Chains A and B, each alone.
Chain A
Amino acid sequence: MNWSLVDPGVIRPWLICETGSRWLSAVRRFGPDMLPADLIPKVESATRDEILSGLSLSEPSIVLWEVGRDSLAAVCDSLAQSTAINPRGLQIVACHHLTDRERWCLTPFPLAAMVNHPEDLPRLTPMIHLHFARWTQFID
């Protein structure tokens, strides 16, 4: 898709940091219905470094981090950094295999939601609508 043809004002980046493509497929499937009708999610898979270097303060974006036991510490670090870079970004964590104790490690970070499976994504629709409504209010 040539994104340069689309009005940048309606594009909302939705970055996914994961191993594999489970959440990429899920966001491609449900993402368009989760955003307000006049916005387009630009769904991209990205590494941790790409996400951190690509985030900017002015961009209303959504980042979905997949967290496993091995990557818990690294993702906590990424969450802290991305919050510092873009405090108004929406951060979602996909934490299927984590124990309750490991989930508690994530709570200090400003996470919008934790999801386990792709079918959990549509439940976040009202929250995402609200997020973009608030963000629009902010830039007005």
Chain B
Amino acid sequence: MVSGTGIRPFARLLDKSQASVWAISPGGKLIYLSSGCSQWLGFDSSLLLDRRSVAGAPISNEKLDLIAAALAAPAALLRRGTASLRITPPALEHQRPEAREVRFIKVGRQDTALVLAIAGDFDDRLPEPELKDAIAIRQQLDSWRRSHAATAINITAGTSKQAVRLRRRMHVAASTRTDVGLFGPPGSGGESILMRIHELSAPGENLIHVDGPLMDSDLLDATLMPARHQLAENRDARVTALVRSLDEMPFEAQQRLAGLLETFTGRLRLLATCGAQLMELNAPVDDGISENLSFTDEQTCGLCSQLIDVISSLTMVNPPLAQRVEDIPLIATALLDARHAAGEGPAERINRSALDALVIYPWPHNNEELEDAIRHSIRNATGSVIACEHLPLAIRSYQPGSILKRAKHPKLSLDDALQRYELRMIQETLESADGNRAEAARRLGISRARLIRRLDDHSSGTRSPKESG
């Protein structure tokens, strides 16, 4: 037992606190056990004094020796200086003591090191909620990568309905060499999806990029000249044209392109992004997106009918990022992973407040804007975590605007609102004037007759706000 004048008050305090504390001498023997240990173990813990308590050391079959050994510090303690262990000591008689978290601390150096152990309820080994979230996102991301190893690109990450549909269509498009029309708003990364589809469905095949809005029929001819020569010279040759913003391409150029596709049917393939409006030519009939569209109207969708026929082989919809809110944490983490792996910065995860800011932001420029935001953040972050202050100003300072400005409300007419406001003012003034109409009219600066007429109007012809509610 430890002796000395200074330690006694300390030992008394420990006994009084009911805490289970014990000490192991440099020789590996129990030299102190607080009274709390007796309560925990269910017998007088002084019986354990001077018994060996060393992990892995040979011990007899005597129960007290077994219990003393169970209280030993893990072997790693000598190296690390601290250790954590959950201990359930064996029972001396009938009832086994409850399991307790124990923290061990090595005091002193090498051969003279004393070990202090404290049992209690500690939650320092539980991961922080913040870390648990990060782990959950990481697990989701890993699972997605495993499941979609071939076609995985960051834009398609997520668990939303839209993400699942996009991945399924992408899988179909990648497994066959066919014409594809990808509808999505600007900045939604349609080109990278089509590039991946091309790599998977026709590896090694020549790919020609065509910028739709810049084309007229002559320029299109010039752009596709090498492809035409290749297709004309070699009957086995195959070429893919990746057209950006096909719906913005002039109609003459569209018709020229349709003519070339007709001439080289099956050998010249069209992969096109279209962004004017979201549409899915081969969507289910009850799909909300396709209900509103009429593909017979060329002017509406900006595509000539021949090209509509071509891309109807397979159309895909890449919805705006704002419609895939639940995917944003996953996509952002995937983008961060890619940049971290490329050595752009030390940040490995995004904290919850930054993720909240990303989720709430409306992303008018879609995935491109998110990519820019992550690039900006990883360069700004100095540690392993991206916090709110590392995000671009536009995102971290965004506050959702007035609800009335954003929503469409047919009932919100100016006349109705003015009428309600007028009635409310009259009623409040009447109340403050104790129902005296003449006084109320004077206070409002109108004649008594006008005030009565207004009240009559509201009570007879016009519905009051309460009635309309």
Which residues of A are in contact with B by a Cβ distance under 8 Å?
A: 1, 4-10, 22, 25-26, 28-32, 37-38, 40-43, 96-97, 117-123
Residues of chain A lying within 8 A (CB to CB) of residue B412:
6-7, 10, 40
Number of B positions contacting A (CB below 8 A):
33
Interface of B is mostly: helix
Contact of B404 with A40 in the complex, beta carbons under 8 Å: yes
Known: A32-B407, A96-B129. 15 other contacts (CB 8 A): A4-B420, A9-B468, A9-B469, A10-B411, A25-B400, A38-B410, A40-B403, A40-B407, A40-B412, A117-B329, A117-B356, A118-B360, A119-B325, A119-B329, A119-B359
Residues of chain B lying within 8 A (CB to CB) of residue A28:
399-400, 403
CB of B8, distance to nearest CB on chain A (Å):
39
Contact of B325 with A30 in the complex, beta carbons under 8 Å: yes
| B403 CB contact (under 8 Å) in A9, A32, A37 | A32
- How far is it, in angstroms, between the C-alpha of A118 and the C-alpha of B404 when the chains are bound? 21
CB of B462, distance to nearest CB on chain A (Å):
13
Q: Which 9 A-B pairs have the closest CB atoms?
A: A28-B400, A9-B469, A29-B400, A5-B417, A8-B469, A32-B407, A119-B326, A119-B359, A29-B360
Contact of B421 with A5 in the complex, beta carbons under 8 Å: yes
- How far is it, in angstroms, between the C-alpha of A10 and the C-alpha of B417 when the chains are bound? 13
Residues of chain A lying within 8 A (CB to CB) of residue B109:
none
- How far is it, in angstroms, between the C-alpha of A123 and the C-alpha of B408 when the chains are bound? 21
Contact of A122 with B403 in the complex, beta carbons under 8 Å: no
Contact of A7 with B416 in the complex, beta carbons under 8 Å: yes
CB of A56, distance to nearest CB on chain B (Å):
13
| B466 CB contact (under 8 Å) in A8, A31, A38, A97 | A8
Residue of A nearest to B326 (CB): A119
Residues of chain B lying within 8 A (CB to CB) of residue A30:
325
Contact of B359 with A117 in the complex, beta carbons under 8 Å: yes
Contact of B355 with A9 in the complex, beta carbons under 8 Å: no
Residue of A nearest to B357 (CB): A25
- How far is it, in angstroms, between the C-alpha of A41 and the C-alpha of B404 when the chains are bound? 9
Interface of A is mostly: helix
- How far is it, in angstroms, between the C-alpha of A43 and the C-alpha of B466 when the chains are bound? 21
- Please provide the chain B residues from 398 to 448 with a CB less than 8 Å away from any CB of chain A in the complex: 399-400, 402-404, 406-412, 416-417, 420-421, 424
Residue of B nearest to A22 (CB): B356
- How far is it, in angstroms, between the C-alpha of A16 and the C-alpha of B148 when the chains are bound? 39
Residue of A nearest to B468 (CB): A9
| A4 CB contact (under 8 Å) in B362, B424, B468 | B424
Q: Tell me whether B328 is interfacial, beta carbon within 8 Å.
A: yes
Contact of B411 with A41 in the complex, beta carbons under 8 Å: no
Residues of chain A lying within 8 A (CB to CB) of residue B328:
119
CB of B185, distance to nearest CB on chain A (Å):
17
- How far is it, in angstroms, between the C-alpha of A32 and the C-alpha of B32 when the chains are bound? 65
Residues of chain A lying within 8 A (CB to CB) of residue B359:
26, 117-119
Q: Tell me whether B465 is interfacial, beta carbon within 8 Å.
A: yes
Contact of A38 with B411 in the complex, beta carbons under 8 Å: yes
Residues of chain A lying within 8 A (CB to CB) of residue B424:
4
CB of B358, distance to nearest CB on chain A (Å):
9
Contact of B402 with A1 in the complex, beta carbons under 8 Å: yes
Contact of A26 with B356 in the complex, beta carbons under 8 Å: yes
- Please provide the chain B residues from 311 to 353 with a CB less than 8 Å away from any CB of chain A in the complex: 325-326, 328-329, 352
Residue of B nearest to A43 (CB): B403
CB of A40, distance to nearest CB on chain B (Å):
6
| B411 CB contact (under 8 Å) in A4, A7, A26, A32 | A7
Residues of chain B lying within 8 A (CB to CB) of residue A38:
409-411
Residues of chain A lying within 8 A (CB to CB) of residue B400:
25, 28-29
Q: Show 23 residue pairs from A and B whose CB-CB distance is below 8 angstroms, ordered by the A residue.
A: A1-B402, A4-B424, A5-B421, A6-B404, A6-B417, A7-B412, A7-B468, A8-B469, A9-B468, A10-B412, A22-B356, A25-B356, A25-B360, A26-B360, A32-B403, A37-B407, A40-B404, A40-B407, A40-B409, A40-B412, A117-B359, A118-B356, A119-B326
CB of A103, distance to nearest CB on chain B (Å):
13
Residues of chain B lying within 8 A (CB to CB) of residue A5:
417, 420-421
- How far is it, in angstroms, between the C-alpha of A7 and the C-alpha of B410 when the chains are bound? 11
CB of A132, distance to nearest CB on chain B (Å):
14
